[in-house]
Amino acid sequence: MRFLNLIFRNLRRNVLRSLLTSTGVMVLVFVITLIWSILGFLDRATSEKSSNFKGIVTEKWSIPSQMPFAYARTLENGASREDGDVRPEDSMTWQFFIGTIDKNVVGFNSFVFAFCMEPRKLLTMMDELDSLPPGPKAELEKAVEAMEKNKQGVIVGQKRLDALNKRVGDKMTIFGQNYRDLDLEVEIVGTFPLGRYDNNSCINREYLNASLDAFKARTGKPHRLAEKTLNLVWVRVPDREAFDQLGSQITSSPFFAAPAVKIETASSGVANFLAGYKDLLTIFRWVLAPSILITLAVVISNAISISVRERRKEMAVLKVLGFRPNQILGLVMGEALLLGGIAGAISSIATYFFVNKFLGGIPFPIAFFSSFPVEDGALWWGAAIGLVTAFVGSIIPALSTRSIKIVDVFSKVA
């Protein structure tokens, strides 16, 4: 306890330097926590599961995928034709509707991106929404029920609502951008829980398809996208074997002749969506993160080096009083480890609770991910990062204290 008390007293000796060093540690740990959380999330999203497989069916030869909606029912059944064929445990169709609530100005504060789908699939097939805690789940179920009763009802992420300056209960017209000349009059019936879908919206697919029929009746001709409104179909099977059999059923089905379709695992599909961000993610993983860790070690090393140079006389006195070289080394390293460990822990733990609770995740849109939760590992990452970088940064200055000679120090004083 006396040894630990001496370490605390040494840190209090120069409060300004201790505060500046700990602030630098906290800022850098904050940044590395955000980077590792984003990379960890994407690593999981692109890793295949051993069970509860999800597959994505898309058009085979075209990007973006655009299939006839007539494909939906057959794909949702896994193109099963015989008694022994595999049928998906669950499925979900996606039609993308991109629009603006201001016909004259297309900008961030008027932009709407919506998944057009069966509302009840939000509860069973959408990642994260299918495993909500009881409170948020009950709120989402209420909104889904409202969407099923009111075909023009929409669910909108809270951040998107704020940007649009709208709230639950408001009505608005979404002027189609990908579906030119198709405008949807909708009513906001609920919001997504804070997190991944903050900037997304959900429209009932029945309303979109009915609007396309109404367009044909009004103009006398079908909309130019009428025969290619289906963008993705998600299917869920229990394991890889069932997925392989399902894939064979779909790709060999004569029903999907023109256009042809393909099926891939959800992890492979997400990886393809992220292909355009490959260089950015590589820089995050192999350049930015290591650079921050090195910078963190240098910050601590500089602080400890200055402290050692200022206290050479004091360390010589400690040797006169009987302190062994290893004890003095331990004092110096203890200061660095204590400062780095505490500052790192405070930073990452505060980041975890603040970002997840108040921001709903890290607002860093990549592909169709609008935000990323801070990983649970952040609760110990900060302390570990602080301790390791403090050890690396302080080892050389601390070792230099072993070579301090009492005669040399006091001869300079004399």
Residues 35 and 105 in one domain: no
CA–CA dist 33, 187 (Å, integer) = 39
- Among residues 259, 287, 319, the one where a domain terminates is 259
Mean pLDDT for all residues in the chain = 91
CA–CA dist 304, 300 (Å, integer) = 6
pLDDT of residue 317: 83
CA–CA dist 372, 369 (Å, integer) = 7
Provide Rg for the chain, Cα atoms. 29
Q: What percent of the chain has pLDDT over 90?
A: 67
In which band, very low, low, confident or very high, does the pLDDT at 64 lie, cut at 50, 70 and 90? confident
Asked if residue 269 belongs to a domain, the reply is no
Inform me whether the pLDDT recorded for 413 exceeds 70.
no
CA–CA dist 122, 136 (Å, integer) = 13
pLDDT of residue 21: 93
pLDDT of residue 408: 60
Asked if residue 345 belongs to a domain, the reply is yes
Residues 225 and 348 in one domain: no
- Among residues 201, 233, 259, the one where a domain terminates is 259
CA–CA dist 85, 90 (Å, integer) = 15
pLDDT tens digits for range 7-21: 888 888 888 889 999
Containing structural domain, residue 32? 2-46+277-413
Higher per-residue pLDDT: 30 or 275: 30
Asked if residue 90 belongs to a domain, the reply is yes
pLDDT of residue 49: 65
pLDDT of residue 411: 66
Asked if residue 204 belongs to a domain, the reply is yes
pLDDT of residue 50: 59
Q: In total, how many domains does the chain have? A: 2
